[in-house]
């Protein structure tokens, strides 16, 4: 069972409990020392025993209640439940990596042109299926929204270049996010995201994004372009003197991400014979199936458990954290 | 409307109310005999000054708000939304928008001609969730900015980013119509709406020829002439040079030419010399474009517990700060 948080940054608020407890402890010690000073010499402070446990219980219970509240706020999720959706037809979004490593020419004429042709030929074989394009370089950007007008997509594919985006690096997870947002809620269809990349990722985590994609019920097909030997490119663009870096096809990362996406998701190597046919068949089979109910696993929100514990701890601190006067 | 997925949890609140009342009535407390110390004849010792009393009240209130918010969040607050879901493709509408500098003329109420057109296009698109929309911009050149799509968010985003002068300072009406025609699916029953304030003065394609290409593709043409005649104030910044222009434009265009283009495309021409007229024209066109009948309502449950948890956190932090920092209390 893996636990994930919808808003992990919020967990930082839990740390506030530590200085709060320290503040109370210091304050209590000072008060106890002041009381001791008032007592006659040699007489022990019996009243420290009245407040000490009460303060300790209340501080501990309320600090834990605070931590539980923060955890609930961070949106914990684990386990899954099946959620049904009525779907009809299919839609496909191509997320194409246009980073600099895609200009490597280990596939002729280059990885990027190979990827563009691969996507364009796939489009030719699935007329009538709404298709869109997301550009993956830096942050993923929706360049062509879902449309049955494939001409617009083809026009863009014919002019792909790293220069289309000035964002540095490659964030494939951001590209997947952009692709998932491209499916309009008013048209429930079998959404297929085709990620064409060499797997060279500089920021983000493709595997995490693939796991999130699984929860949406979409299918992820990762098409790997390039070779395992790869080629060297200069670290600094346009500077041939800068130290070279080897751009290779990272198949292991890509297949692991496709597996994490679950369902009918898969990894295909662009140069494998029949890989394009497999992709086309997958899109066609989804497009040709009529209206249907599709059940996909969704993560279960678990904030309620933490809220219940927080309320119990609050009540516990309130009831037990009181001074017990002795006769 | 606000609803709760675990309404039984709200019983906590019902239990809390009598508990608070009993506590206020000192029913749950031990018997106490308050003893006030003070000098004989002097001012007696006061347990709490007014400021402290207020602070104590606010801190208690914050604790109560925190607990109530947490209990409400635990009850699973949700909002149910009805969303229309479509299975049939619906109508296709392609807007061909003139973005030549004259569209910056300020004779259409608040904002310029493009702003007025943009406002009504946005309203038109938002009111037709089952249809697909495309966007073509024209200046001295023309370009497809958004292919006909059901992704209204993408369409509206690009529409909002549309800038006067981004395609040069001419008016290539023919090119704009040709680009729209090239991106229409044959037999899709599309509607092409051309919004312009000028005459064709750029581009290699005759507007009448481009308009005539629409009926064979099953498309209907609507031309809207925007703007008044005479001197109108104009102000715009050239996106290429960044240079600002302001002055008076002698507005006027050949309505006959626009009518002839509409006639060639088997469509209609309407003049919009005021925002009210433009709105009426959009309403008329809306009636001419059939609505997507193939739809069903889908109830979407949207959880909204986070604002309640946030409120609980803020109130708890406030109570702690008041009691420990301002009042100096330890319990």
Cβ pairs bridging A and B (under 8 Å): 118
Burial degree of A189 (CB within 10 A; 0-12, 13-18, 19+): buried
> Mean pLDDT lowest for which of A190-199, A223-232, B137-146?
A223-232
Q: pLDDT digit string (tens) for A283-309?
A: 999 888 777 787 877 889 999 999 999
Rounded CA-CA distance A210/A199 in Å is: 13
Of A262 and A115, the structure prediction assigns the larger pLDDT to A115
Rounded CA-CA distance A148/A130 in Å is: 4
B39, pLDDT greater than 60: yes
Rounded to two decimals, the pTM is 0.75
- The beta strands (E) that lie in chain A are given as 4-5, 76-87, 90-97, 131-136, 141-147, 190-197, 219-224, 231-234, 244-247, 266-269, 292-301
B292, pLDDT greater than 90: no
Q: What pLDDT does A182 receive?
A: 93
- Closest in B67, B130, B320 to A314, CB measured: B67
Nearest alpha-carbon partner for A288 in A73, A146, A90: A90
Rounded CA-CA distance B179/B120 in Å is: 22
* Residue keyed to tokens 């008329």: B284
Would an 8 Å CB–CB cutoff place B137 in contact with chain A?
A: no
Contact across the interface for B70 and A75, Cβ inside 8 Å: no
Cβ proximity of A245 and A233 under 8 Å: yes
Q: What pLDDT does B17 receive?
A: 78
Average pLDDT estimate for A116-136: 94
Report the run of H or E that residue B298 belongs to, with start and end. Answer: strand B295-303
Is the CA virtual torsion B15, B21, B27, B29 positive or negative? positive
List of chain B residues whose C-beta atoms are within 8 Å of the C-beta of residue A13? 313
A45, pLDDT greater than 60: no
A47, pLDDT greater than 60: no
**3-state SS string over A196-234?**
EECCCCCCCCHHHHHHHHHHHCCEEEEEECCCCCCEEEE
Percentage, residues of chain B above pLDDT 70 = 95
Rounded CA-CA distance B301/B304 in Å is: 10
List of chain A residues whose C-beta atoms are within 8 Å of the C-beta of residue B330? 24, 27-28, 31, 51, 55
Contact across the interface for B85 and A188, Cβ inside 8 Å: yes
Cβ proximity of A122 and A114 under 8 Å: no
Q: Name the pLDDT band for A143 (thresholds 50, 70, 90).
A: very high
Cβ proximity of B115 and B108 under 8 Å: yes
Is the CA virtual torsion B51, B54, B60, B61 positive or negative? negative
Average pLDDT estimate for B232-246: 83
List of chain B residues whose C-beta atoms are within 8 Å of the C-beta of residue A12? none
Q: What pLDDT does B314 receive?
A: 97
A327, pLDDT greater than 60: no
Supply the Cα-derived Rg of chain B in whole angstroms: 33
Most A CBs within 10 A among B64, B92, B143, B147, hence the mutation to make, goes to B147
Would an 8 Å CB–CB cutoff place B155 in contact with chain A?
A: yes
Would an 8 Å CB–CB cutoff place B70 in contact with chain A?
A: yes
Q: What pLDDT does B85 receive?
A: 83
Q: What pLDDT does A48 receive?
A: 53
Supply the Cα-derived Rg of chain A in whole angstroms: 29
What value does the mean pLDDT of chain A take? 87
- Closest in B12, B134, B306 to A73, CB measured: B306
Q: pLDDT digit string (tens) for B109-167?
A: 888 999 999 999 999 999 998 899 999 999 999 999 999 999 999 999 999 999 998 88
Cβ proximity of A223 and A195 under 8 Å: yes
Cβ proximity of A187 and A154 under 8 Å: no
Q: pLDDT digit string (tens) for A73-88?
A: 999 999 888 888 788 8
Cβ proximity of B198 and B102 under 8 Å: yes
Average pLDDT estimate for B81-89: 82
Compute the nearest-CA separation of B74 from chain A (Å). Answer: 5
- ipTM over 0.90? The verdict is no
A282-297 as b/e: b if 16+ CB within 10 A: bbeebbeeeeeebebe
Cβ proximity of B185 and B131 under 8 Å: no
Rounded CA-CA distance B29/A249 in Å is: 73
Q: What pLDDT does A34 receive?
A: 82
């Amino acid at each position: 069972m893996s636990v994930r948080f919808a808003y992990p940054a919020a967990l930082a608020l839990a740390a506030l409990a530590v200085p709060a407890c320290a503040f109370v402890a210091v304050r209590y010690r000072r008060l106890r020392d002041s009381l001791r000073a008032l007592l006659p010499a040699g007489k022990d402070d019996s009243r420290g025993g009245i407040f000490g446990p009460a303060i300790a219980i209340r501080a501990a219970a309320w600090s834990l209640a605070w931590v539980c509240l923060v955890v609930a706020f961070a949106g914990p999720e684990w386990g899954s439940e099946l959620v049904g959706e009525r779907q009809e037809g299919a839609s496909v979004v191509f997320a194409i990596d246009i980073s600099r490593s895609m200009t490597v020419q280990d596939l002729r004429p280059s990885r990027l042109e190979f990827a563009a042709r691969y996507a364009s030929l796939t489009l030719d074989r699935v007329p009538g299926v709404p298709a869109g394009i997301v550009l993956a370089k830096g942050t993923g950007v929706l360049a062509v929204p879902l449309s049955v007008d494939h001409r617009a997509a083809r026009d863009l594919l014919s002019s792909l270049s790293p220069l289309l985006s000035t964002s540095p690096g490659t964030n494939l997870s951001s590209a997947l996010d952009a692709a998932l947002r491209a499916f309009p809620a008013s048209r429930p269809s079998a959404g297929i995201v085709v990620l064409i990349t060499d797997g060279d990722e500089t920021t983000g985590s493709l595997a995490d994004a693939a796991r999130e994609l699984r929860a949406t019920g979409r299918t992820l097909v990762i098409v790997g372009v390039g070779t395992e030997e790869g080629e060297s490119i200069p670290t600094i663009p346009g500077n041939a003197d800068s130290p070279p870096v080897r751009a290779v096809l990272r198949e292991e990362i890509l297949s692991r991400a496709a597996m994490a996406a679950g369902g009918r998701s898969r990894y295909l190597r662009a140069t494998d014979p029949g890989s394009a046919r497999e992709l086309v068949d997958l899109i066609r089979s989804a497009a040709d199936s009529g209206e249907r109910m599709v059940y996909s696993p969704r993560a279960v929100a678990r904030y309620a458990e933490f809220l219940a514990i927080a309320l119990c701890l609050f009540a516990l601190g309130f009831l037990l954290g009181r001074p017990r006067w002795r006769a | 409307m606000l609803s709760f997925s675990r309404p039984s949890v709200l019983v906590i609140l019902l239990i809390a109310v009598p508990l608070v009342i009993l506590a206020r009535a000192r029913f749950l407390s031990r018997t106490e005999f308050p003893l006030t110390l003070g000098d004989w004849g002097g001012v007696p010792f006061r347990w709490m000054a007014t400021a402290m009393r207020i602070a104590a009240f606010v801190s208690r209130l914050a604790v109560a708000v925190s607990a109530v918010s947490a209990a409400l969040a635990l009850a699973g607050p949700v909002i149910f939304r009805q969303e229309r879901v479509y299975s049939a493709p619906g109508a296709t509408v392609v807007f061909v928008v003139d973005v030549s500098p004259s569209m910056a003329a300020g004779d259409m109420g608040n904002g310029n001609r493009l702003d007025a057109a943009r406002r009504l296009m946005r309203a038109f698109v938002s009111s037709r969730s089952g249809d697909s929309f495309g966007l073509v911009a024209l200046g001295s050149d023309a370009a497809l900015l958004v292919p006909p799509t059901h992704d209204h968010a993408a369409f509206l985003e690009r529409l909002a980013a549309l800038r006067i002068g981004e395609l040069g300072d001419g008016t290539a009406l023919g090119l704009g119509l040709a680009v729209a025609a090239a991106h229409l699916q044959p037999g899709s029953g599309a509607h092409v709406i051309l919004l312009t304030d000028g005459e064709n003065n750029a581009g290699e394609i005759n507007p009448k020829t481009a308009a005539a290409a629409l009926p064979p593709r099953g498309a209907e043409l609507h031309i809207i002439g925007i703007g008044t005649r005479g001197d109108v104030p104009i102000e715009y910044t050239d996106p290429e040079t960044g240079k600002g222009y302001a002055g008076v434009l002698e507005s006027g265009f050949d309505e006959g030419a626009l009518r002839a283009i509409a006639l060639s495309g088997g469509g209609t021409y309407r003049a919009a010399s005021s925002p009210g007229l433009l709105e009426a024209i959009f309403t008329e066109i809306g009636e001419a474009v059939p609505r997507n009948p193939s739809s069903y309502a889908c109830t979407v449950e949207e959880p909204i517990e986070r604002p309640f948890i946030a409120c609980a956190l803020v109130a708890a932090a406030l109570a702690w700060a008041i009691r420990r920092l301002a009042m100096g209390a330890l319990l």
